[in-house]
């Protein structure tokens, strides 16, 4: 039995107050197992990013509990790594020093930091670009830096907020393959947020389908398929269809329509 790494118990998150009050997440319960690749899918605005922000410690819950290794999460910290949709690299740092930043903060010696960073830069396929500034890179390359930076200081949990959402379709597919390859090597606990069912089914050990706002868990689907997965495989398509079915109802709800009956 795998250990529970991240746990949400009756989690609630409300923004604003009075007439502007928005309930982003309510009565949200979830267990994320250690070394599992968990993907959250849900309609836009369902609070899936908000949940990730709370795991990161960027936002605080307004109710319920959120635990990491059984202890409440109170603030951000280097036991977690975060990959943003908009990359959020530091333009004044080169690729190398973006990746070493977390190690510098941890007080690792310059030589060790550089060695570690170079290994990660190689792993994400950016050899030769270590001295480039981010603005000279393409979107896909920037996100490779984002992933290397989040992994460099060896966090226990990797949080990814629609990391491929701003990439073009072709680059996106390549990055999904790359992430699978990297994850197989590192076997970290990953919580990945996306609204793409194709992506979710390709990457996940476990897919959590969320309801329209306020976000709750609508269904949990295990994806027990060998990697790398085939986007056209029979099993893959079967699972994808199942997830899509669950999600479609919620997307219609979020658009204010009643789901069509099959």
Partner 1 sequence: MTITRSQIIKPFYFVLPFLIVIGLWELAVDMGTVSSRLVPSPSLITLKFYRLMTPEPILLNVLYMSFYRLILGYALGVLIGVSLGILMGVSNLLYRVFSPILSLLISVPTLAWVPLLLVTLGPGEETVIIAIFLGSFFPIVYNTLNGIRSVSKHRVWAAHIMGADKATVFFEVLLPGSLVSIITGLRLAIGYSWRALVGAEMLAAGISAGVGQMIYAAKAFNDVEAMFAGLIIIAIGGLLLDRLLMDPIERKTVEKWGMVKER
Of 101-109, 192-200, 231-239, 245-253, the segment contacting partner 1 by CB under 8 A is 101-109
In the complex, what is the shortest distance from the CB of residue 245 to partner 1, in angstroms, rounded to a whole number? 34
Site for partner 1 in 127-146 (CB under 8 A): 133-136
The reply to whether 174 sits near partner 1 by the rule CB under 8 A is no
The reply to whether 15 sits near partner 1 by the rule CB under 8 A is no
DSSP string covering the chain: -PPEEEEEEEEEEEES-GGG-EEEEEEEEEEEETT-EEEEE-STTSSHHHHHHHHHTSS--SEEEEEETTEE--S--TTEEEE-TT----TTS-HHHHHHHHHHHTT--HHHHHHHHHHHHHHTT-TT-TTS-GGGS-HHHHHHHHHHHHHHT--SEEEEESTTTTS-HHHHHHHHHHHHHHHHHH--EEEEEES-HHHHHHH-SEEEEEPSSSB-EEEEEE----SSPPTT-HHHHHHHHHHHHHHHHHHHHHTT-PPPP-
Nearer to partner 1, 87 or 202 (CB): 87
Residue 52-91 contact track with partner 1, rule CB under 8 A, x = bound: ----xxx----------------xxxx-xxx-x-x-x-xx
In the complex, what is the shortest distance from the CB of residue 246 to partner 1, in angstroms, rounded to a whole number? 30
The reply to whether 186 sits near partner 1 by the rule CB under 8 A is no
Site of interaction with partner 1 (CB under 8 A)? 56-58, 75-78, 80-82, 84, 86, 88, 90-92, 101-102, 105-106, 133-136, 153
């Amino acid at each position: 039995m795998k250990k529970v790494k991240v746990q949400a118990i009756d989690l609630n998150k409300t923004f604003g107050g009075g007439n502007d009050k928005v309930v982003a997440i309510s009565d949200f319960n979830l267990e994320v197992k250690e070394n599992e690749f968990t993907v959250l899918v849900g309609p836009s605005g369902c609070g899936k990013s908000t949940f990730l922000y709370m795991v990161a410690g960027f936002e605080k819950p307004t109710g319920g509990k959120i635990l990491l290794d059984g202890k409440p999460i109170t603030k951000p910290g280097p036991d977690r790594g975060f990959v943003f949709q908009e990359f959020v690299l530091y333009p004044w740092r080169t690729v190398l020093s973006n990746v070493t930043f977390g190690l510098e903060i941890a007080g690792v010696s310059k030589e060790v930091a550089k060695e570690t960073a170079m290994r990660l830069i190689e792993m994400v396929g950016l050899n030769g670009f270590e001295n480039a500034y981010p603005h000279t890179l393409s979107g896909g390359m920037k996100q490779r830096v984002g992933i290397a930076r989040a992994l460099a200081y060896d966090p226990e949990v990797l949080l990814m907020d629609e990391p491929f959402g701003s990439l073009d379709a072709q680059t996106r597919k390549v990055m999904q393959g790359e992430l699978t390859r990297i994850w197989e090597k590192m076997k970290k606990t990953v919580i990945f947020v996306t609204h793409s069912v194709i992506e979710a089914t390709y990457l996940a050990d476990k897919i959590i389908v969320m309801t329209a706002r306020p976000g709750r868990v609508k269904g949990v689907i295990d994806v027990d398929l060998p990697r790398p997965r085939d986007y056209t495989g029979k099993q893959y398509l079967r699972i994808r269809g199942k997830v899509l079915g669950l999600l479609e109802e919620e997307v219609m709800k979020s658009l204010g329509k009643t789901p069509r009956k099959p």
